[in-house]
Structure 1
């Protein structure tokens, strides 16, 4: 989408019969800035777009270009910008989407999703966010906000379908005692009325590779996270693609007693490991 916006801006420059260098000089920009924007390597700001359309005498395009920029920002929400006001603020933003959503389908291959985390697991995850992104440390408030969001798990008008890989149960992202508590929480969730929890064991044959975690919210939004940003997809073809991928992953997952057996096995191994460490 950034490339498409850059292409539109380039077309305006060409129509105005300006070279990239001429446009940069007229705006007192570094010579490379025009090239970076046109090639999608740098997102323009609102001020950049207004200056660009004024310099190319195409002010009639300003409104549509600003709308395209807003859509770009909604799609690619960089963590440094999203978390600028703190992690609690981001949880509040997610809660606004929660109010409208009725069906949650979530897959994760590395971590336990926020909606089913224990407070201790959530605290450890937020601490990692602070360390990596150097954002304001409002961990206590963020944990409380996440726990409040989890209250919707008990609302009868909402349904939740989580699919996790066995790897997500085993990755050493938190201490063993915190992970054991988290796994105990998952055991309880396998019996909840409006929550469906599937586990894909290590021996399972995949139809679709578990490339990265993602959420499908109703049929209007797909959300997933990279190291640098939260990605929000709203195009119908993208939503259809991720919905199909989720169904493929869900179809090979284990549920009920089989899921509990996988979780229980990991819990026993963690408990044995902890006892060995204490014994040594």
Structure 2
């Protein structure tokens, strides 16, 4: 059974606490030693290590400095901020439909210069047609039981997608071949979506790769993720969108993207796979 957003956030906080406690142990310090070096009450280190108290940015810096691990502070601070944002984000996402979520991410899309997207479930949002997006968002609304603002959310998604045509943005997009066949909308609408893909992939700022069914896998299929420059990765799960900013985690996803890219076909072979899917959609 999938974890709830709250339990996901709690797991992230527990993982951060475990990492901090591991740093303490590696430094050969007791909790009391650490508290003394940081100038804290002796129970504070214990509460942080057991995930009973959420450490502030300054707490993490002090902890790492006391253990001689200053180089790990930035990664841990980013992980802490991510853990603290998870559950709040879910409350926001589900409160009043999806339109506001799309509108709130427009600044992120506008300031990102290099998008790297791996899609294993549906086509990337910035390349969706209105009819395809309607099918996707309608199914999400039905499954999650959220307020139905699909028409408004589709318009917001289309407006956000103008970054493909405006400004200085580059898009490296990878799609599993199966995604081309998923019937998230009616067959003719899916065919129209695939025709649009073939049109947009010739743009100089767009690189679209398809990972064929028969590709030799060096990385297993993953859940969809969006990388915004080298600073943030948004991972889409069934229960949450998890935003990661910890440098180590971001590097891992970018490394996975590079490996997935080597399995993909581009250009004419990719267009051939789209044509095959288009014929299937219309049959």
The structure with the largest alpha-carbon Rg is: 1
> In 2, Cα distance between the equivalents of 1:254 and 1:155?
26
Identify the residue that residue 160 of structure 2 maps to in structure 1.
149
Identify the residue that residue 87 of structure 1 maps to in structure 2.
98
Identify the residue that residue 222 of structure 2 maps to in structure 1.
211
Aligned equivalent of 1:232, options 233, 240, 243:
243
Identify the residue that residue 111 of structure 2 maps to in structure 1.
100
> In 1, Cα distance between the equivalents of 2:144 and 2:58?
33
Shift of 1:88: 1.0
Shift of 1:201: 1.2
Shift of 1:146: 0.5
Structure 1, residues 178-227: CA drift from partner, whole Å, max 9, x if none?
21111111111221121111111112112211222111110000111111
Shift of 1:236: 1.2
> Is 1:162 matched up with 2:159?
no
Shift of 1:173: 2.4
1:99-118 to structure 2, matched below 5 A, reads 99-118=110-129
TM-score (norm 2): 0.73
Contact 2:82/2:244, CA 8 A, preserved across alignment: no
Identify the residue that residue 206 of structure 2 maps to in structure 1.
195
> In 1, Cα distance between the equivalents of 2:13 and 2:217?
33
Q: Which runs of 5+ in 2 are unaligned?
A: 1-11, 21-30, 36-40, 60-76
Contact 2:82/2:245, CA 8 A, preserved across alignment: no
Contact 1:161/1:196, CA 8 A, preserved across alignment: yes
Contact 1:76/1:231, CA 8 A, preserved across alignment: no
Contact 1:166/1:201, CA 8 A, preserved across alignment: yes
Contact 2:131/2:185, CA 8 A, preserved across alignment: no
SS of corresponding position for 1:83: helix
Contact 1:75/1:233, CA 8 A, preserved across alignment: no
Q: 1:4 to 1:241 in 2, by over 3 A?
A: closer
Instruction: Give aligned pairs, total.
Output: 236
> Is 1:120 matched up with 2:131?
yes
Shift of 1:101: 0.6
Contact 1:80/1:135, CA 8 A, preserved across alignment: no
> In 2, Cα distance between the equivalents of 1:209 and 1:77?
31
Structure 1, residues 220-266: CA drift from partner, whole Å, max 9, x if none?
00111111111111111111111111011112211111110010011
Structure 1, residues 119-152: CA drift from partner, whole Å, max 9, x if none?
0111111111211222221111111111011111
SS of corresponding position for 1:269: helix
Aligned equivalent of 2:231, options 220, 228, 247:
220
> In 1, Cα distance between the equivalents of 2:216 and 2:56?
51
Contact 2:82/2:243, CA 8 A, preserved across alignment: no
Contact 1:102/1:158, CA 8 A, preserved across alignment: yes
